Amino acid sequence: MSSVIGIVSVALVASLFMSFTVGANSNSAPIAPAVGANALSTLRGALLVGLVAGLGAIAQGGSISETIGHGLVTGVTITPLAATATLLTAATLITIGNSRGYPIPSAFTVTGAAIGAGVALGGGFAVMTYAKILGFWFAIPVVEGVLAYGLAWLLLDETVSDTLSIPLLAAGVGYTLANVQLSFLPAPQSEQGSIAGVITRQFNVASIGLGEAGIVLVGVVLGLLTLTVVYWQLRRDVTTGINRMLVALALVVVFTSGGSQVGLATGPLEAVFESSLGLPSLYLLALGGLGILLGGWFRSPRLIQAVAREYASLGPKRSIAAFIPAFLVAQAAIALGYPISFNKVMISSIVGAGLVGGSSDSAGISTTKTVYTVGAWVGSMVGGTVISFALYHTLAALPGLG
């Protein structure tokens, strides 16, 4: 019994370490375009990363945590020892990447490590789940690159007024935010609700004969409210309005990144919390949110600088064009429960937006840095699988742990 408690304790510490690493690594990327556009200082950006990503982790982290904890291997329940092997492997690899100045994709690393430990435990490969996740991953750079390029082209087109294009984009973001599922909002017959859903029920919008369409109507109203606020800001001062829009989008994306990334740290412990501790997963998400907050505060400035300065030098408009696809893709991943690398999400958007107005060289994109990063993406997943598999067997062979 004491050995089980000890392993669970190590697994909890490993989860906190992993969430700290995620906060320093993956959640740093969303704020980088705002820093690169000089709308925020690096230190202020790091402070906001910790606070907002930590909140997002608690509010939206449940679906991806569930996938990591239960969906990557078949036939076995992840044990505390397997969870420990997974988290130690992933956190160590990501920390090494951080120390070298290269953002290692947390999703690839954790997914590989979880598969390696699960197979070492005797589980089978969840092939259909892998196919769906890999398909989503392969689609990210294409979808994001095209969307970011198109939005940057629109925003930089001098024939289109900023007071038209930017408020319309803000309205779309506002509508999406109104409909995302949040853990702390109640909903009938479900665990989560949305802002639009709560308002619909609170004011009994369905009573006017719209039914479920009432939620859509409330979302549209909130989107139009967002449009009005942004339009008013731009009418007062265009430069100030664009910078405020940029910072607001940065915070929205950081919030989303917390929700999409915390599951990478908490997922391996889902089964442990259910079977060994008997605690609800919200406590686990809170632990992950705390780690993300601390990681964002203490370790993210270097990574923020790396993404903001070395991948592309974006102005405010191209930064806005990079944020919106990243936000939409990450919210889709959360809704589907697919783990994603937020480094990959942000870099794909930055590259797409950075290509507008010239070649990759004139946009300030480092080709060498990008090639190294792609290599890290592939190597981290394969390496995570092999190392985690070996680490589990090593730990299992130790007296009292097997």
pLDDT at 55: 92
Under DSSP, is residue 124 helix (H, G, I), strand (E, B) or coil? Answer: strand
Task: Report the candidate in 326, 318, 320 with the shortest Cα–Cα distance to residue 356.
Answer: 318
Q: What's the mean per-residue pLDDT of the chain?
A: 83
Query: 340-352, pLDDT tens digit by residue?
Result: 988 778 878 888 8
Query: 1-21, pLDDT tens digit by residue?
Result: 456 677 778 778 888 888 887
Sign of the alpha-carbon torsion through 257, 247, 343, 103: negative
- Contact between 196 and 174 under an 8 Å Cβ cutoff? The reply is no
- Contact between 113 and 384 under an 8 Å Cβ cutoff? The reply is yes
105: left (phi over 0), alpha (psi -120 to 50) or beta: beta
Q: How many CB atoms lie within 10 A of CB 357?
A: 13
In Å, how far are 56, 97, 219, 311, 394 from 379, measured between CA atoms? Answer: 29, 11, 42, 20, 22
Q: What DSSP string runs through 62-114?
A: HHHHHHHHHSSEES----HHHHHHHHHHHHHHHHHHHHHT----HHHHHHHHH
Angle between helices 195-202 and 213-236 (to 10 degrees): 110
Reported as type and span, the H/E element at residue 389 is helix 367-396
78: left (phi over 0), alpha (psi -120 to 50) or beta: beta
pLDDT at 343: 74
Report, as ranges of residue numbers, the positions in the chain whose pLDDT lies below 50.
1, 311-312, 359-364
Name every residue whose Cβ is closer than 8 Å to that of residue 134 and which is 6 or more positions away in sequence: none
Report how far residue 199's alpha carbon sits from residue 185's, in angstroms, rounded to the nearest whole number: 11
